[in-house]
Amino acid sequence: MSDTLNIKSVSISRRDSFNSRDPQTRDLKPFHSGSIKILLLENVSPTAVNILKKAGYQVEFHTKALDKDTLIEKIKDVHAVGIRSKTKLTEEVLSHANKLIAIGCFCIGTNQVDLGFAASRGICVFNSPFSNSRSVAELVIAEIILLSRQLGDRSREMHDGVWNKVSKNCYEIRGKTLGIIGYGHIGTQLGVLAESLGMHVIWYDILPLMPIGMSRAAETLNEVLAEADFVSLHVPETPETKYMIGERELASMKKGSNLINASRGTVVDIEALAAALKSGHLAGAAVDVYPAEPLSNGPGFESPLRNCPNTLLTPHIGGSTEEAQRMIGIEVATALTRFINSGTSINAVNFAECDLRAIPSTDRTTVRIVNVHQNVPGVLRQINNILADYNVNKQISDSKGDVAYFMADVTVENPKEINTIYEHITGINENIITRVLF
């Protein structure tokens, strides 16, 4: 692939790259011009839509995920696609994306994208790992209180016309122990909020991390399960975390304790959880994510957890607040425009992170070469041989797995020679994508 793109400048916010530090810098555009088309699915934030339209891109917006056949047809002609968690960008789908250079996941997770295949096609993937942390943490705090007072069941009874005023097995959360599995951005915020409500916090993570506040690190997962009154899961979806909470782990939990899962649907064995709730071993559960989730809103949701006692079921809304979606929209849309406009891959998921400082506005002869190639010996030598007759002002190269990323700012006095450089680099056998920005 060797498509290059029509580019305009955009404003940069949060974690700015070198390309936004000097207002007296040059806006880049492509050597071969053409309209940039962006496909946005699953009702991503209007903030993102506005940023991308302001950049001059053609934006096609859909409120829902597309079925596979429609997605394959749509993705053939776009340069970037924005999704949330329901759209699956598999190898089959991406193999039809002949112009695609970037994917924006407007969420934390990227397991819905075949990251390795995307990289092999020169498609850079971005996500928003931090922007919805507060929203998820607040939801978990609310669920802890709801579970401790059995408010889900009481509310349902009242809607059914049943008055059931009870205090048995209803507790304050003050003085109770919260166990956090995965002490990352969400886990740490959750711990701070829980301590402010008088809870004790114990946590477990596979990495050695600094405790915040009065929280305490556990040596093992089982230590947390045995001690906590509430266990909250905040881990990514990996082979190691699949069904990490199963029948054995649930049996290890304190009798009368509660389980909360707002991480990934495959982390908990749902059948085993339903059995633990019905037997009375667990006092309650709150689940926001499921092994299989509907593609659109409406009836038809099925789960063994339906009608289990003191069980809160929510439709994957942990990060679904106006504030979180706005911040996610800014972060991911900005990352997309920076990558398209200036080539920076900072905060990419499947690419090495590279950036170059911006070109001064007074410099009218420098072009930027952006290249993705197979990470094998000899490719850099070939590229540098092509650039040997020109003044290379600055360059950077890094690799991640089988794919390498290269950026260079080159002085080219004769504009006619830009096409020659472009054709020579795209002619390298290991070339995946080459773009020229000037």
CA distances from 424 to 103, 133, 142, 369, 420 (A): 27, 46, 59, 12, 6
* Pairing between β-strand 230-233 and β-strand 177-181 as defined by DSSP bridges: parallel
CA distances from 391 to 382, 384, 413, 434 (A): 16, 11, 10, 19
State the CB neighbour count (10 A cutoff) for residue 192: 14
Catalytic residues: 264, 293, 316
Distance (Å, rounded) from C-alpha 187 to C-alpha 108? 14
Distance (Å, rounded) from C-alpha 251 to C-alpha 272? 10
Q: Which residues contact 69 (CB under 8 A, 6 or more apart)?
A: none
Using only C-alpha atoms, what is the Rg of the chain? 25
Amino acid at position 107, single letter: C
Across the beta sheet with 200-204, the strand order is: 216-217, 200-204, 177-181, 230-233, 257-261, 282-287, 311-313
